[in-house]
Every structure is written in C-alpha cells, then in structure tokens.
Amino acid sequence: METIHSGSLSKEQIDFYKEEGYIVLPNLLNESDIAGVKEAMNQKVSQIAEELMKSSLIEDKLEDRPFKYRLAELFADLQADDFLKYGRSWRDRLPGYYDLMSNAKIIDAVESLIGGEIFSNPVYNVRPKIPKVAAGAVPWHQDKSYWPDANANPVITVWIPLVDANEVNGCLCIKPKTHRKRLLKWHQETTTGTGYTALSEKQLGKTETVVLPVSAGSAILFNDRCLHMSTPNNSDEVRWSVDLRYQPTDQDPMAAHGAGFLARSYNHPERVATLEDWLAERPEHENLS
C-alpha cells in the first residue's frame, strides 16, 4: 500500500490555505534554523562594506553593528542609487541559502500542500529592504506575472523575515481568496525605477487587504496567483527577508530563471540535491564518484 505523506500542517491549516490562498505559520523557525542564512547575509554585507571603503564612500565598515542595523547604517549618508547598484534583491549561491531552502520544517509544511515530491523553484530572493529607498516597497502583484508562460502549478511562495516585520519597516499585505483569479494583465511600475510588475488600483477589486506583521522566523505561504504587496521601510533598521518557492516535481522547472533543485522525494530519495549539487547548479544529486 502506498504511504500517504501529509507533512506538518493540520487539516484546519490546509483548509485555510486552500480557501484563503495563504497561511501564516508563526515562529516556524528558531534562531538556529536561521543562523546559516544570517551568516550568508552578513558575508555579503561585509563584502559591500569593503567595496564602499575602497571607493571612499564610507570611513567605517561598522563591523560591530548588529545584523538589524549594519547595512542601513552603511548607506545612511549615501544615495539610493549607491545601494541599488547591489540590487534590490539578491540571489547569491551561498551555503546558508541552501541550508534554509532545504530546512525540513519548511519542506514539511509545503508537503502538506503539494505532496512529498518537492522541487525548490529557482526563483528565491534575499531582500535587504533598507530605510529611505523607495524601491524597497513592492507594488500589488501576482508572483505568477514573473513566469506567465511557465507550466508550473502550483508554485508556493514561502516568505520569511529574519527580523520582526511590521507596517513600519515593511511587511506583506495580501488580498485573501484572490488565488482563484486568472493571471491579471500587469504593467511595469515606473515610479521607483524597479520595473516590478504591478497592478493598477482598479484591478484590485473590492477584496479586503490583510496586513501581515510577523515575527522573525515566521513564514507566510501563499499561492502564486494571490495578490500581495509590501509596504516601504520607514524605520531605521533593515527589513531582512527571504522569499523561497516550491512546486511539485512534475511541473516546469523554469530553467530560464536558473537551476532549482529536488528538495524532497519519497520516490527517489537518492536524487535529492545536496549542498554540493546545488552549488554546482545540478538540480538533482549526481553520484560523481
């Protein structure tokens, strides 16, 4: 008899997700779950500090400042463009990111929604949203607008803040039940120069907006057709977050966006990608010995 793999979510949580198009999992991850990803982010911040020093844009690398403040303070006296040169979101291939993307607590939750054959989609972003950079806010959109032609259903976004996220430093806002909508016609936003896909006010309809402040290590899972946005950062700290994505293995791997990886498989556990596979951009484990 075939074993049913049902993951970690309760029936109530699964029903909520199916009905509303999203679910919040408060405090899904603890400090040790996110230590690796924070280390990767710190590594990148140190590299940036080094470059800013070399270009004489700063006089102090602020090495002793806390994770939550350092990047914001490095750019405090600089222009938005100095920051945006490094990109508004990052997709480096550092071990800490694989560590998070393959975290069993995340994959267990995803398994409840799509089953146990799980592919980690190539689109993952680290978002260092710093104060006073307008491009940090993300307009209303459907994630699906970034891969309109991909035959990958469903793609589930797992959004995780590494600091407490709220309306002051920039949290997610969602329109529940909009995941049942078709892909809406979007335009490219022009006000902050990000080129983000955006929906116009009149496309948002009458659906209420739910604002989702969450603590560090919590996760918000949502369907890639669900309308969402994020507010600007009006605090003095960095709103650090990651957005990861998962889909069933029998869907389009969206290779045009990069190499995703097999994150869990009960049918072929020997093919699950290791860190070495991921670093080498191999979607599945290859025994090279």
Ligand X SMILES: O=C(O)CCC(=O)C(=O)O
Binding site for ligand X (CB under 6 A): 127, 129, 138, 143, 157, 159, 170, 228, 230, 241, 243
The minimum distance between CB 228 and ligand X, in angstroms, equals: 6
Angle (nearest 5°) at CA 212 between 206 and 216 = 165
The minimum distance between CB 196 and ligand X, in angstroms, equals: 8
DSSP letter assigned to residue 2: P
Nearer to ligand X by Cβ, of 62 and 135: the residue is: 135
Cα 262 from chain centre? 18
Nearer to ligand X by Cβ, of 88 and 285: the residue is: 88
Minimal CB distance residue for ligand X: 230
Pairing type for strands 261-264 and 172-174 reads unpaired
Nearer to ligand X by Cβ, of 159 and 186: the residue is: 159
The minimum distance between CB 94 and ligand X, in angstroms, equals: 19
Pairing type for strands 261-264 and 197-198 reads unpaired
Cis peptide before 253 (omega within 30 of 0): no
**Cα distance between residue 153 and residue 55, in whole Å:** 45
- Other CB atoms within 10 A of residue 25 CB: 20
DSSP string, 216-244: TT-EEEEETTS-EEE----SSS-EEEEEE
The minimum distance between CB 216 and ligand X, in angstroms, equals: 14
For residue 289, the one-letter residue type is S
Nearer to ligand X by Cβ, of 117 and 243: the residue is: 243
For residue 242, the one-letter residue type is V
Nearer to ligand X by Cβ, of 218 and 230: the residue is: 230
The minimum distance between CB 278 and ligand X, in angstroms, equals: 20
Structure tokens at 21: 């198009």
The minimum distance between CB 48 and ligand X, in angstroms, equals: 19
Nearer to ligand X by Cβ, of 58 and 138: the residue is: 138
